[in-house]
Amino acid sequence: MNILLWEASLENGLTVRIFDNTRCYYGDYYRVILKICCEVRLLPEYFADMALFNEARCVHGDTIGHDRQVEQMAVPSAEVSAVTENLIAYFKKHSLPYLSASAFPKKLSLSEICKNKRVRCPTHAQNLHE
């Protein structure tokens, strides 16, 4: 389906979007699937030097995506809307404050870069804890 259900611009510059990917899997039962996405712009100040920044941009481009999926199985069609609303409310209460933190874009960028074996990991104590 991939229908945009919710979008918010955060104070740290990120835009969070929730998409509905719900699908029927048997009879009147659905798998409620919400995809939560945001993109983090790579900035030079996240890196100890410009060489690491340029290396990261060559591999990842200007942004790094942060995608998560939440789901619930075996939802009768009459309850799909309520389950969807509950999953969104849970996300807003428990995960949105974490994504809204001012340090989140930098931490996510460096974490994702370190997962990629084609780029030198730029994480130093000063990079992650500033």
How does pLDDT run across 103-119, given as a tens digit for each residue?
A: 999 998 888 888 876 66
Residue 48 pLDDT level (bands cut at 50, 70, 90): confident
Question: Domain segments of the chain: what residues?
Answer: 3-128
How does pLDDT run across 50-98, given as a tens digit for each residue?
A: 988 898 898 889 999 889 999 999 999 999 999 999 999 999 999 999 9
Interatomic CA distance for residues 88 and 82, integer angstroms = 10
Q: What SS3 class is residue 85?
A: helix
Interatomic CA distance for residues 130 and 102, integer angstroms = 10
Helices (H), 25-117: 50-60, 80-94, 96-100, 104-115
How does pLDDT run across 14-40, given as a tens digit for each residue?
A: 999 999 999 998 999 999 999 999 989
Write the DSSP symbol of residue 94. H
Interatomic CA distance for residues 24 and 30, integer angstroms = 4
Interatomic CA distance for residues 99 and 42, integer angstroms = 16
Going by C-beta distance under 8 Å and a sequence separation of 6 or more, which residues neighbour residue 31? 22, 23, 24, 25, 71, 72, 73, 74, 75
